[in-house]
Structure 1
Amino acid sequence: MSGDLPDAVIQLKPKDVDLTPAEVVDLFESQLMSRHLDYQSRKLRARNESFYTIGSAGHEGNAVLGKLFRITDMAFLHYRSGALLIQRSKQRPGETPLYDMLLSFAASKEDPISGGRHKVLGSKTLWVPPQTSTIASHLPKAMGAAHGLGLAQVLLPDGKPFPADSVILCNFGDASANHSTAQGAINAASWAAYQNSPMPIVFVCEDNGIGISTSTPKGWIHASFSGRAGLHYIYCDGTDLLDCTRGVKEAIRYARRFRKPVFLHMRAVRLMGHAGSDTEVSYRALQQVEADELHDPLLHSARLLLDHGMLSAEAICQLNSQIEQRVARIAELAIKRPKLQTAEEVMASVIPVAQKYGEIPEVDSKTREAMLGKDLRQLNKPQNMARLINLALADILLEYPHSVVCGEDVGKKGGVYSVTTGLFDKFGAHRVINTLLDEQSILGLAIGLAHTGFLPIPEIQFLAYVHNAEDQIRGEAATLSFFSGGQYTNPMVIRIAGLAYQKGFGGHFHNDNSFAVFRDIPGVVIACPSNGADAVQMLRRCVALAHEQRRVVIFIEPIALYMTRDLHEAGDDLWASIYQSPTEGEPIALSQFGCQGEGTDLCIMSYGNGYYLSRQAARVLEQEHGVALRLIDLRWLAPLDEAGLIKAAAPCRDVLIVDECRRTGSISEALVTLLTEQAPGEHRIARVTAEDSFIPLAEAANLVLPDKQQIVSAALALLGGVR
């Protein structure tokens, strides 16, 4: 057998890295288990019993990561981490990784992590959030979790789930390292560490030299990451258990001691192609494939065992055969376990089950008065929306000690529109975090903070900017409950300044009037207040939803209404409100819309700027044309109270929908569909919307947006003319 094994590349002995013979054998066992899971997955795929064939073959050296990182070092894993998860499970008695992973392969609803919804590597008991991405979208949240570890030592004195010296493990491939998400996350971690902000994370790049069919240039990973400021670079050979152990130990020591990020460059090979459907020789020379097979980490491990007399060739073959049979036996059990049978079963974890996070201590009046300080003098005066949101955030940060505001310029500057002004002075840099200019990192920070026990309130400066990072919401935050059966959640309130009507300022980047990107994400709450009083109550409800129900919430703040005080004439102050403390005012429940008037001639449905314009148009319609109106302010754009809206509109034959967003893809389409499907023939319906256009600069912006006169004209046309 020894003649078929590769020579040792690095001359190390087990004692050089403090590994006992038993530990080396144990690692080899995990490597064999992972390989036979890969084989079994492909055999089952041929029988239509397995549904995911991207395996870990060639990357089994990452079993060392599973051994040396603690369970309390939260792990964000690459999909080729089978050996890692198997070895990690050995740290906790009672784990059954082979059965669990085969249940996942077979899409059984008894799969303990995803409940049959996806083949994922994850575990609640092992602190491995499930990862479904095939690129690098898990890196930003891993970076955020690393920052959360440091923050927890300062802000979470009770109930911290992680020891003070915990670190974050995050692994990925060399092809994924080129993705903007990876580049942004590593840059953000380095940026923070460069300023001595704690960032205890080990980024492990498992470099097999190829991404599906595209080769990674030789030396590219080393050249790209070895000289970065704030990032400590280490190399190891992942095909050699001993050198891998040396490198991993060095990385962990550095991250634990200095609380700074490490880039561990681990050599690997990719065996068996990218996935089961991949014919590797169609794009790689046979000699290349055979060269990689010669460096199979299992062959290197077998050579190590033989060279040091830990196992005989016969014992190695016997162990391999036993594991092969064991995996096959377990597979036959797993494929017979029940599958998801109904849409209700599939969707059961889209929305997290409400859970008790912990008691929120009551805030005494003296503490609140001290926090508000000079703001107390302004509380009895009408305020605009921006100021009211600012006061609400202050009370929220006081009431929820684990809440954190983060985003670009939210600190001393107070944001572009001064919405966070003064919060930094009141609560400090740990609670009001200025981030770098990178929306992926801002949202990744929020997701990671949520993983480590915080309630994050990230700010995105403008709606258009979120498109740079929307997958952090769509593919990461919103899916986590679904793919973990509700075991992991991402509670957060994402504040986004958005929508149009800024009088032509800034063009489309500062006047984005489409939030369609959020509307088709299952389980996400979308709130959009039209006035300051509602904004206060809705923001409080959003934070409560995140805290109590672990929801992901989008809070869209209409920029054009931030400073608006007047409705009809200058100085009328009809759009300003006196701030109500957390114990005052009428709470606004999720999906609860507002209704103005009880007229039966015409119902106008709108939100945000559209509702503001509709209120202006209503005075003309009522006073000059005698129209008896009822106006509905949606407030919540997802989920809608469909039954309530149908009931509210029922007395009116005519319904006008005013939508400041584009005609195509706007919520007005959903409202028309709702009325048509659930109240067929009951209403005549018309829409006033923005044009299907981006927002131009200056006065031209008004040409593509609805205005008061358009609403009046459309209402009269629907009613049949002047009344």
Structure 2
Amino acid sequence: MDRAKIVHENFLRRVQAQDFPQGAAPKSGLDATTAIEIFRAGCLSRALDLTSRDMQKAGQGFYTIGSSGHEGMAAVARALRPDDIAFLHYRDAAFQIARADQVPGQTITWDMLLSFACSSEDPTSGGRHKVLGSKSLMIPPQTSTIASHLPKAVGAAFSLGLARRHAPEHRELPQDGIAMCSFGDASANHSTAQGAFNTAGWTSVQATPLPLLFVCEDNGIGISTKTPQGWIAASMKHRPGVAYFEADGLDIYDTYATAQAAADYVRTRRKPAFLHLRMVRLYGHAGADIATSYLPKSEVEADEANDPLLHGVRLLRDAGALAPEDALNIYTSTAARVKDVAATVVTRPHLQTAQDVMAAIVPPKRTCTPSNGPSTSTRTAVFGSDAKAQAAPQPMAKLINWALTDIMLDHPETVMMGEDVGRKGGVYGVTQRLQQRFGPDRVIDSLLDEQSILGLAIGMAHNGFIPIPEIQFLAYLHNAEDQLRGEAATLPFFSNGQFTNPMVLRIAGLGYQKGFGGHFHNDNSLAVLRDIPGVIIACPSNGADAVGMLREAVRLAREEQRVVVFVEPIALYPMRDLAQTGDGGWMSTYPLGRQSIGLTDIGVHGNGTDIAILSYGNGHYLSRQAQVDLEDLNINARVIDMRWIAPLPEAAIVQAVQGCDHVLIVDECRRTGGQGDALIALLARNNVNSVGILAAEDSFIATGPAYSATLPSREGIVAMARNMVTGEGA
């Protein structure tokens, strides 16, 4: 049977008979007007659930996941301020409705139904997804989250304290605000949730301000898997640095009082708290899910008998706030009004074309105050002895360090974070002295958890900072890749460009490290990044390019609100020589000023027409070596450095290979999933003939003398180029 219909009919019958579930008496502290508004929000949430199911059956609505049983979240919303940023669980329609009641000019019923219908007029996602979220309500949209939003909630909370000391130009959140995130009991077991709890406690015990309220909506089950009784309380009550509060989520008076106490604790102490709310889940998990197919009917009926709206009517009656017949009228009139509005909403337009859907992948540009940079004396003082050294050629690692220094001088809203980036100065010394120059507020030594590092960055970007997080090695990104794919990259898409989280993620990566093996310290794969829509991927091959590209990456994040991944080839950090030992051919002097390298700017070295060698990173370095050897064989090569992996500088590449008899692609990433296929397709579409590819083998990298055996080599490039040009050799 339709459990939603059963719950609805039970409510009508039991209110008329004043047959209410037993519970505690109403707690003090909640005035009658607010209590009735909380009940109204719960009724609207319930009506929207019922109507969304009808819309789906009629083909006028789409994916449904209801909030029925979690109406108590309306009381949590009223215990917070409407400018407290809230990252919501997918069952929190009542929270969003109650928050809308606190902000003038809202049309929450209309707006949420537009989302259910996936109308292009949906003010949150523009028809791209059924989401909770609202810019005016400071609720960044979430889709079907598990716990992936918790790390960025930690970051947003951290940003509130930092913004008091270093206010960014585009600050979004109030100084005395708090951050809130909500999630289910099953989600609390996810690694992202556990990492967020741990990070919050780790931060708190060090007396660092972190005003964050975790709200666990415990209905005892995750889809069909039960949460052991008492598990949430047992695992969270004694977390170091995180205060624990608990309440009956079926009781709006208890929920409001406890949520208010928890929020006051967070707001005044600037420390994290965990609010545990016991709730029920009605109607099953989502859509056509039938709870009685995996739960005893008696358990399902027991939850239905504990309907929080029934508890609400009883509590309002006992508090003298609202008579049961008036509560029933609110319920029925709300349901009728929602149906009427839905009848109009389903006629509203939808997205039609790929261009319509994709219009929000790239966020809008924003106006930024131009930076005049520091005075000469300030810059000299910050750089110290490094200022004089900038006139001499230096390897890539040193130039990146200086570029980061200038960027942080130019833009006070830039903040670095990552494992070992501060006191140690990074594994390879790239961030040496930056913490001395700018302090631990702006060069943050994080705990060892990539999800938390990226979550910190995403959350801080919500408050106007430009984060420059570091992942110590490329392979470690896989521990946290969903923070890029599922959180950072999707935010402008699902908010129609209203919310953004720009950043420049620095990753030391790729292969050719002597003495290190794979897959962690030598990882030659960028495939996990290349298919994330909207993400920019940069990969410099030399120090001067790294400086120019890093400046552009920060500009893209700051002014165009983009997510940029800056992949730094580890093996080239210390590289000094090119053709032979002692020639210093791979070092550069520091490019002073603000000159940058744009997304369509590629590097072209030589004007040979026999063959064009197209590569990036370590492959470009090896190709430049091979270029010298080929000249000795009377083969004139042109070497092209792509610089940008995504989006590919397609027009520039096609133009650069014009006039060459052959094109050789050198790809240090693995043959499967590397850049080669896209480059071959690009050249084929533009009628470029005689194209070859030399890519890494589909293998992990070995430690020891065979560290480069599976990768392209100088000798291999020479041999293949010679064979393509002359037909001789390997």
Normalising to structure 1: TM-score of the pair? 0.97
Indicate conservation of the 8 Å contact 2:25/2:318, yes or no: no
Structure 1 residue ranges without an equivalent (≥5)? none
Residue type of the alignment partner of 1:219: G
Residue correspondences, number: 715
Q: Deviations over 1:584-622 (max 9, x none)?
A: xx5311131111111111011000000000011111111
Task: Please state if 1:201 is matched with 2:212.
Answer: yes
User: Within 5 A, what are the aligned runs for 1:251-270?
Assistant: 251-270=262-281
- CA distance in 2 between counterparts of 1:622 and 1:274 reads 68
Contact 2:48/2:338, CA 8 A, preserved across alignment = yes
Q: Taking structure 1 as reference, are residues 417 and 225 closer, same or farther at Cα in structure 2, changes over 3 Å only?
A: same
Matches within 5 A, 1:133-144: 133-144=144-155
Does residue 693 (structure 1) correspond to residue 724 (structure 2)? The answer is no
How far 1:488 moved relative to its partner?
0.6
Three-state SS of the structure 2 residue aligned to 1:387 is helix
Matched, 1:550 2:556: no
Q: What's the % identity of the aligned pairs? A: 55
Which residue is equivalent to 1:644? Answer: 652
Task: Give distance in 2, aligned partners of 1:360 and 1:439.
Answer: 31
Q: Provide the C-alpha distance between the structure 2 equivalents of 1:311 and 1:353, rounded to a whole number of angstroms.
A: 48
Which amino acid in 2 is paired with 1:646?
V
Classify the secondary structure of the residue corresponding to 1:482: helix
SS for the counterpart of 1:563 is coil
**What is the Cα-based RMSD across aligned positions, in Å?**
1.3
TM superposition shift of 1:699: 1.3
Match of 2:486 in 1: 475
Question: Mean alpha-carbon deviation: is it higher for 436-445 or for 88-97?
Answer: 88-97
Conservation of the 8 A alpha-carbon contact between 1:497 and 1:556: yes
Q: C-alpha offsets along residues 350-394 of structure 1, whole Å, 9 cap, x if unaligned?
A: 011211144434322122111111211211111110000000000
Which residue of the partner structure matches residue 134 of structure 2?
A: 123
Corresponding position of 1:711: 717
Q: CA offset at residue 257 of structure 1? A: 1.2
Distance 2:167 2:436 in 1: 20
Corresponding residue number in structure 2 for 1:621 = 630
Alignment map for 1:162-561 (pairs within 5 Å): 162-561=173-572
Equivalent-residue separation in structure 2 for 1:310 and 1:230 (angstroms): 39
8 Å contact kept, 1:478–1:524: yes
Rounded to whole Å, the distance in 1 between the matches of 2:429 and 2:655 is 40
Q: 1:604 matched to which residue of 2?
A: 613
Are 1:595 and 2:609 matched, yes or no? Answer: no
Tell me the residue number matched to 1:11.
25
* Amino acid in the other structure paired with 1:238: G
In the TM superposition, residue 160 of structure 1 has moved relative to its aligned partner by 4.1
Structure-1 residue corresponding to 2:167: 156
Question: 8 Å contact 1:504–1:702 — kept in the other structure?
Answer: no
Q: CA deviation at 1:88?
A: 0.2
Look up the match of 1:672.
680
Q: Distance in 1 between matches of 2:715 and 2:168?
A: 57
Q: Out of 679, 683, 686, which is 2:689 matched to?
A: 683
Letter in 2 for 1:708: R
Residue in structure 1 matched with residue 10 of structure 2 by the alignment: none
Letter in 2 for 1:94: G
Range that drifts further, 305-314 or 216-225: 305-314
SS of the equivalent of 1:578 reads coil
Distance 1:430 1:653 in 2: 55
Q: Quick one: which amino acid aligns to residue 587 of structure 1? A: S
Secondary structure of 1:60's counterpart equals coil
Mean alpha-carbon deviation: is it higher for 637-646 or for 141-150? 637-646
| Alpha-carbon distance between aligned partners in 2 of 1:394 and 1:609, rounded to the nearest angstrom | 25
Alpha-carbon distance between aligned partners in 1 of 2:269 and 2:325, rounded to the nearest angstrom: 45
Distance 1:716 1:158, change over 3 A: closer
**Counterpart Cα distance in 1 of 2:170 and 2:463:** 11
Cα distance in structure 2, aligned partners of 1:596 and 1:381: 22
State the Cα deviation string for residues 535-555 of structure 1 (Å, max 9, x = none). Answer: 000000000000010000000
CA distance in 2, matches of 1:180, 1:573: 47
| Contact 1:591–1:638 (Cα < 8 Å) also in 2 | no
Q: What is the CA–CA distance in structure 2 between the aligned matches of 1:185 and 1:517, rounded to whole Å?
A: 23
How many angstroms does 1:12 deviate by?
Answer: 3.2
Q: Secondary structure at the match of 1:40?
A: helix
- Alpha carbons 1:591, 1:635 under 8 Å: kept: no
In structure 2, the residue matched to 1:33 is: 44
Could you tell me how far apart the structure 2 residues matched to 1:611 and 1:378 are? Answer: 27
- Is this contact kept in 2: 1:28–1:298, CA < 8 A? yes
Partner residue of 2:107 out of 96, 101, 106: 96
Tell me the amino acid that sits aligned with residue 679 of structure 2: L
**For residue 714 of structure 1, what is the amino acid of its counterpart?**
M
* 3-state SS of paired residue (1:702): coil
CA contact (8 A) 1:591 1:639 kept: no
Residues 445-478 of structure 1 show CA distances to partners (whole Å, capped at 9, x for unaligned) of 0000100110000000000000000000000000
C-alpha separation in 1, matches of 2:672 and 2:623: 20
SS in 2 for 1:494: strand
Q: State the partner residue of 1:660.
A: 668
Counterpart amino acid of residue 382 in structure 2 = M
Matches of 1:164 and 1:123 in 2, distance apart? 20
TM-score by length of 2: 0.96
Distance 1:166 1:11 in 2: 32
Contact 1:458-1:494 at 8 Å conserved across structures: yes
Q: Secondary structure at the match of 1:412?
A: coil
Per the alignment, do residues 130 and 369 of structure 1 end up closer, same or farther by CA in structure 2, a change over 3 Å counting?
Answer: same
Q: 2 CA distance for matches of 1:304 and 1:254? A: 26
- Contact 1:691-1:705 at 8 Å conserved across structures: yes
Give, as a single letter, the amino acid of the residue that structure 1 aligns with 2:599: L
Q: Is the 8 A contact 2:280 2:306 kept in 1?
A: yes
Q: Which amino acid aligns with 1:115?
A: G
Is the Cα contact below 8 Å between 1:76 and 1:138 reproduced in 2? Answer: yes
Q: Is the 8 A contact 1:652 1:683 kept in 2?
A: no
TM-fit CA distance, 1:293: 0.6
> Secondary structure of the equivalent of 1:354?
coil
- Report SS of the residue matched to 2:24: coil
Structure 2 CA distance for aligned equivalents of residues 10 and 253 of structure 1? 24
Residue type of the alignment partner of 2:718: V
**Distance between the aligned counterparts of 1:220 and 1:701, measured in 2?**
47
How far, CA to CA, are the matches of 1:46 and 1:505 in structure 2? 58
Looking at structure 1, the residues matched to 404 and 367 of structure 2 have their Cα atoms a distance apart, in angstroms, of: 22
What 5-or-longer segments of structure 2 have no aligned partner?
Answer: 1-13
Shift of 1:159: 6.2
1:132 aligns with 2:111: no
Q: Is residue 504–residue 696 contact of structure 1 (8 Å, CA) maintained in 2?
A: no
Structure 1 window deviating more from structure 2 (302-311 vs 291-300): it is 302-311
Partner of 2:86: 75
Contact (CA 8 Å) 1:105, 1:119: kept in 2 or not? Answer: yes
Using the alignment, how far apart are the partners of 1:409 and 1:101 within structure 2?
Answer: 45
Deviation at 1:313, TM superposition (A): 2.7
Q: What letter is aligned with 2:485?
A: R
Q: What is the CA-CA distance between 1:264 and the residue it aligns to?
A: 0.4
